[in-house]
Structure 1
Amino acid sequence: MVSVSVDETRRDLYSLCLVNKTFLKYSQPLLFRRVQITLPYRFMLLLDEAERASSTNALSAIRMLDFATFRAMGLRRTVGESKERRFVTPWRLQAMVDAATGLVAFGSSATMDSALSLEVLESLLLRGGARSLPGRMRGVSIERGRNKDTQNALQSLDLCGCVSPHFVEAMCQFVDKHLPRLDHGRRPIYDLAEEDEEMVESEVDDDEERRGRGRSSVRTRDQSSARRMAPRMTVRSHGRSFPSLQRLGLAGVTLARDVLSSFVLAFPNLTHLDLSQTKADAGLLEALADSHVRLESLSLSRCRALTSQSIVDLLFSPCTEDLIELALQGTLLFPTPLSPDDMRMVIQRAPCMRSGAMRYLDLGGCPLTDEELKLFHGQPALLDLGLGSISSISLEGVSSLLLHRAPNVQVLDLSHSCGAHSPSGFVHAVNLYHDLLAPCTQRPQALAIAQQLRRLGLKQDSAADDEDDWHAPTNLRVVELSVGALSTVRGGLSTWKVIWGSGRRGWVVDTAAGPKPCATDIESEPMVQDRGRSAQSGEGRRAPRLASVSPAPTRSLLTEEPRTAGALRTEDTRGRTGSVWLNRSSSRSRAGGMHLRPPELTMRGANNAPPVPTMRSRSLSLSAPRERSEEASWKDVPVAPQVVRDLPPEHPRRVELEQLARQDGSVPGTVGWHSHKMEVLLGYGMLGHEIGNYAWLAYQAS
């Protein structure tokens, strides 16, 4: 099957709706499943459909309502008209949300955040419905046991970039009306049984005493277990919770700390949480560590109010044991608040770092040196690594980390890093090639010369087959650098070319490399317990859990087609191109009822190779941290050859990448690597992005 874009699929479905009533009956629900509001008049037409009684069934098929691409510019309206006569008003948006009874994902943007009133927030969160139960029949998605008169509960909410005073006021009103405010000066007031009051008071006293005399360098497992076994505290009866919502994006919102904390803690079943560039503080992280939340993707990038203690407590709590994506990015001016001792402890003993299941990791701005890089556990599943804004590391240390601990990394961020030993303060092209690109991606000199001789017909021996089977020691294909470093690369280094984004970010990309069509998922290495037992055996055995990671759909299927290890894409019978993902151990859908679970998965690569069936499984093996010394010897992580290099000049992927390199930054905002914004509507996490403002936040410098 040939891959088609989402727009082409919509045009085909619209054409089918015009055939006859039978085609209209079955094509219209698929056409309305994912609605993206781009222009005001499209919103007004959809609002007219909501006011018609005959269109109730069509609007009830909406699963995702997205305003990421909404724009009201270029309509020949004055500034006064744009301010006084808005297209997206609170009552219109509320009517739209109420008509979309099947809605499970909602995404807003800064271009319409003034319409998010208290009534709209109540319509989104207080829907009173049950979670949708997706299923499939003959390749067509259906809703199992769905009653058309009931509403689906919201499962994904993205409020990134919403800074309007109307929105902030509405959020404060929502929290005051439905949620309890949290006091950050002391612990929240809870209703407890009399026999539990003394235990809680003693716990508070112990915490205050520990803060007064200073925290020890290592928290023992007994202390952590005692804290988890403390009596659960129930919030006052006037507070509410929303167990259906699983993915929440709050990047860049300007809510006060108490409002933000109360809102985030109202969702006990979160799996994706984006708090980047917010006022999140230590009190919120402490409450998350004490909650029942089990996160898979977490972003705390550029949160200046956090403390080193709060980050460590969260990363050592059960809340983050299942993490596969973690972003702690900082800048040179505002680095991550982790202290060097805490950073070393996180690298060595944090459960998420020991599991070997991390897919995305951004430690930009953290206190790291080459010595800390040597302490990393093997990360066979790591695909995207951020080490920006760290001047104390060197290219040799990064190269050693990739060769021995994380050889499957494909995207590497080194912006404003590795320049401490350089007179210019940034990486030079010569050092970049000899210290990083050559040892990680190039053939050894002897093999390169033998290959050239064999092509000339001057060398024919039995070692030819072994040389043809050679693969690079790592899967590295994209390196992000600062502006000064990219200026030294200029015309490129062999097939490595400079691609500038539409903002201030730029990358050195191997234009002759691409994902292998038959690549499969990478299994994480199980951790070893103290007595040599597997983490899945013995006392405290934990049931294996399958975690899914999918790349987001991107521009022309090539700007970032494979950010996962498999670099896989699927296509269902509706013609919609998606991504291969794993069935979770529970019955919930990864996309919250939109991207439904197929019975069979096939793969197709960038060169339209035939589908190859595959089975993917990964178990997050978690156990008690095991002490190890810095001198302990660990075996190297083997590389999974999932990147094809030396693509021919006429290959479509190479042609498109070279075209992007020639455009010198005149590219759409969706072009880029190493996302800084979490995608929550479809559940792609930090390994994916959406279009519109979402992509701008993901791939632009701020």
Structure 2
Amino acid sequence: MHLEEWNRRETFECIEAIDFTGCVSRVFSESLQAFVDDWLTEPTETSVSGEQNGGDDDRRGRSRDVRDITVAHELAHGELPAHHVDGSTSAWQKPMFSGLKRLSLRGCVTLSSDTIARLISCCPNLTHLDLSFTRVAPSTLETLGSMPTVRLEALSLARSTRLSGESIRDFLVEAPAAATIVDLNLFGDATYISPLSALDLESIITTAPCFRSKQLRYLDLSSAPLTSDMLDLVPAQPHLRSLGFSFIPFLELDATAALLRDKAPNVEILTLTASSTRVDLPPNLSALQTTMVLHQKLINPLTMAPFSIIPRPDAKIVSRLRILELSETVRKALGPTGGSRDWKVVKSKGGRGWYVDVSAGWLDKNDHADTRTCRPLVGSPEVDGSNPDDTLVYTRGLSQDHPWRQYLSSLADAAGKVGSAVGWHSRKMEVVHGHGMLGREEGLYGAGAFAFEG
């Protein structure tokens, strides 16, 4: 019976993605723990654990069933000698979910680090992993780093409160699994500040393969001890599209602008929530001063052609910056438009908000009359994760009646009365469709992606 059941299951297609975001109920936690104990833990280890707890947990019997099914399957396929069925020699082998590539455990705060580590250890081909807002410990990263076949494309460790800066540094610098990362989220905020020290951060920036490969597409270092001098050490990142520098009070706008101009000109989305508050944007600035500083130090140098008395048709805009995430204090100082013809404030359904160039975006190249366009960026053209197409170009300077400009303007006019999927610089990885941190989140998941500042 066991063999027939196993053979039937072999006809099933492998699951490629699982999203457990926000699953914190007792039923879920106990069920997943039981699954790990019954299927992913060696029977002898489970038995010892059960005896130490002083209980006759029926899960031990079910673990023996797992062993029996595995043995019958391997005997039928000639993979296991018959003498291994002898009770003196353990025939149990850990199940492997080779088809599972994308996994999100974001917000699963009721799961222990050991449970998460055991689950991950059975997924040898992971490419997208979201462990943000969990209780994972450094040992979990050690487990992940010891898996020879894992090659991650996207990783989120945002606000994982039990990780140390040393463990994050060692994983990113030394683990082969981290060398191929293109989406990296190490977000922290005023409630939970990044555990990285200045030395940890410098080591990651200068030696981590994912930085040195120059393939990063999404990066969030919010609340890390980043200084203006440290930005000089960052390798050029020509593919970077979304950058998180929030909750860094001593970060200078001039240094940030220099980074985008010289090393990351394709960044479109920059977050500066509660940043530069001790240097360029202190709370005591007037509304006019806030607007002038933001435009003079950051927006104008990056999004306008250099001033020239003699018109220069060949003058190029040095950056694709079109979206700034700002704190509520700065947004209030700006007002709806900050006195700009093209930039407007767009609020999410929650507390986050952005200062958006409504005249810029990705459009069909046959639909940009009277606009200035830049070379198409390799990668997803918009935050909805649609496939890149060579007919799309990055466009700035859309006319007042252009549909895309009118759409963004309508979001600004809505003053936060928008859907939960409206926003930029996602803080939740979209694992279902494999879009990493640049996906468009729908439904309740959109709240975790775009709604909350912290």
Structure 2 runs not aligned, ≥5 long:
43-89, 366-374
The answer to whether the 8 A contact 2:276-2:282 is kept is no
CA–CA distance in 2 between the matches of 1:656 and 1:648?
13
CA–CA distance in 2 between the matches of 1:365 and 1:404?
23
How far residue 656 of structure 1 moved from its aligned partner, in angstroms, is 0.8
The answer to whether the 8 A contact 2:20-2:106 is kept is yes
The answer to whether the 8 A contact 2:245-2:271 is kept is yes
> Are residues 1:510 and 2:367 paired?
no
**Amino acid in the other structure paired with 2:283:** S
Out of 361, 366, 375, the position equivalent to 2:233 is 375
Q: Aligned with 1:679: secondary structure?
A: coil
Out of 308, 328, 337, the position equivalent to 1:446 is 308
Aligned residue number for residue 387 of structure 2: 579
How far residue 273 of structure 1 moved from its aligned partner, in angstroms, is 0.3
Aligned residue number for residue 661 of structure 1: 412
CA–CA distance in 2 between the matches of 1:424 and 1:690?
33
Q: Aligned with 1:310: secondary structure?
A: helix
Out of 6, 25, 33, the position equivalent to 1:172 is 33
CA–CA distance in 2 between the matches of 1:236 and 1:604?
57
**Amino acid in the other structure paired with 1:259:** T
Aligned residue number for residue 303 of structure 1: 160
Query: Structure 1 residues 477 and 371 mapped into 2: Cα distance closer, same or farther (>3 Å)?
Result: same
The answer to whether the 8 A contact 1:502-1:669 is kept is yes
The answer to whether the 8 A contact 2:377-2:394 is kept is no
Out of 186, 193, 199, the position equivalent to 1:328 is 186
**Amino acid in the other structure paired with 1:315:** L
The answer to whether the 8 A contact 1:677-1:689 is kept is no
Aligned residue number for residue 136 of structure 2: 280
Q: Aligned ranges for residues 638-653 of structure 1 at < 5 Å?
A: 643-653=394-404
Aligned residue number for residue 562 of structure 1: 382
The answer to whether the 8 A contact 2:102-2:434 is kept is yes
CA–CA distance in 2 between the matches of 1:428 and 1:174?
54
> Are residues 1:682 and 2:423 paired?
no
**Amino acid in the other structure paired with 1:355:** S
Aligned residue number for residue 74 of structure 2: none
How far residue 310 of structure 1 moved from its aligned partner, in angstroms, is 0.8
Aligned residue number for residue 318 of structure 2: 473
The answer to whether the 8 A contact 2:306-2:315 is kept is no
CA–CA distance in 1 between the matches of 2:126 and 2:436?
13
Q: Aligned ranges for residues 202-221 of structure 1 at < 5 Å?
A: none
> Are residues 1:158 and 2:158 paired?
no
Q: Aligned with 2:308: secondary structure?
A: helix
The answer to whether the 8 A contact 1:127-1:154 is kept is no
How far residue 517 of structure 1 moved from its aligned partner, in angstroms, is 3.4
Q: Aligned ranges for residues 260-279 of structure 1 at < 5 Å?
A: 260-279=116-135
How far residue 497 of structure 1 moved from its aligned partner, in angstroms, is 0.5
The answer to whether the 8 A contact 2:250-2:278 is kept is yes
Q: Aligned with 2:184: secondary structure?
A: strand
CA–CA distance in 1 between the matches of 2:424 and 2:124?
32
Q: Aligned ranges for residues 128-207 of structure 1 at < 5 Å?
A: 128-129=9-10, 150-180=11-41
CA–CA distance in 1 between the matches of 2:316 and 2:248?
30
CA–CA distance in 1 between the matches of 2:205 and 2:308?
37
CA–CA distance in 1 between the matches of 2:320 and 2:284?
27
How far residue 603 of structure 1 moved from its aligned partner, in angstroms, is 4.3
Q: Aligned ranges for residues 297-446 of structure 1 at < 5 Å?
A: 297-316=154-173, 317-421=175-279, 422-424=281-283, 428-446=290-308
Query: Structure 1 residues 350 and 446 mapped into 2: Cα distance closer, same or farther (>3 Å)?
Result: same
Scaled by the length of structure 2, the TM-score of the pair is 0.80
Residues 420-475 of structure 1 deviation map (CA, whole Å, 9 limit, x = unaligned): 1244178922211010001101122326xx56xxxxxxxxxxxxxxx334331100
CA–CA distance in 2 between the matches of 1:513 and 1:401?
21
Residues 111-135 of structure 1 deviation map (CA, whole Å, 9 limit, x = unaligned): xxxxxxxxxxxx9xx9844xxxxxx
Out of 255, 276, 294, the position equivalent to 2:151 is 294
**Amino acid in the other structure paired with 2:306:** P
CA–CA distance in 2 between the matches of 1:469 and 1:696?
43
CA–CA distance in 2 between the matches of 1:468 and 1:669?
41
CA–CA distance in 2 between the matches of 1:326 and 1:247?
15
Q: Aligned with 2:270: secondary structure?
A: strand
**Amino acid in the other structure paired with 2:17:** S
Q: Aligned with 1:430: secondary structure?
A: helix
Residues 10-36 of structure 1 deviation map (CA, whole Å, 9 limit, x = unaligned): xxxxxxxxxxxxxxxxxxxxxxxxxxx
The answer to whether the 8 A contact 1:127-1:153 is kept is no
Query: Structure 1 residues 127 and 166 mapped into 2: Cα distance closer, same or farther (>3 Å)?
Result: farther
Residues 511-552 of structure 1 deviation map (CA, whole Å, 9 limit, x = unaligned): 111225355444xxxxxxxxxxxxxxxxxxxxxxxxxx54xx
The answer to whether the 8 A contact 2:376-2:390 is kept is no
**Amino acid in the other structure paired with 1:300:** L
CA–CA distance in 2 between the matches of 1:242 and 1:236?
19
Query: Structure 1 residues 236 and 658 mapped into 2: Cα distance closer, same or farther (>3 Å)?
Result: farther
CA–CA distance in 1 between the matches of 2:91 and 2:413?
61
Scaled by the length of structure 1, the TM-score of the pair is 0.52
Identity percentage of aligned residues: 36
Question: Which structure has more RCO (C-alpha within 8 Å, separation ≥ 6)?
Answer: 1
Q: Aligned with 2:243: secondary structure?
A: strand
Q: Aligned with 1:487: secondary structure?
A: helix
The answer to whether the 8 A contact 2:266-2:377 is kept is no
Out of 475, 486, 501, the position equivalent to 2:331 is 486
Aligned residue number for residue 76 of structure 1: none
Out of 106, 114, 118, the position equivalent to 1:251 is 106
The answer to whether the 8 A contact 1:178-1:238 is kept is no
The answer to whether the 8 A contact 1:365-1:390 is kept is yes
CA–CA distance in 2 between the matches of 1:502 and 1:563?
17
Equivalenced residue count is 384
CA–CA distance in 2 between the matches of 1:294 and 1:127?
31
Q: Aligned with 1:468: secondary structure?
A: coil
Residues 118-171 of structure 1 deviation map (CA, whole Å, 9 limit, x = unaligned): xxxxx9xx9844xxxxxxxxxxxxxxxxxxxx3211111111011111000101
Out of 240, 253, 263, the position equivalent to 2:95 is 240
Query: Structure 1 residues 425 and 176 mapped into 2: Cα distance closer, same or farther (>3 Å)?
Result: farther
**Amino acid in the other structure paired with 2:168:** I
The answer to whether the 8 A contact 1:127-1:152 is kept is no
How far residue 240 of structure 1 moved from its aligned partner, in angstroms, is 1.9
**Amino acid in the other structure paired with 1:487:** K
Aligned residue number for residue 546 of structure 1: none
Query: Structure 1 residues 513 and 407 mapped into 2: Cα distance closer, same or farther (>3 Å)?
Result: same
Q: Aligned with 1:298: secondary structure?
A: strand
CA–CA distance in 1 between the matches of 2:363 and 2:103?
33
CA–CA distance in 2 between the matches of 1:175 and 1:312?
28
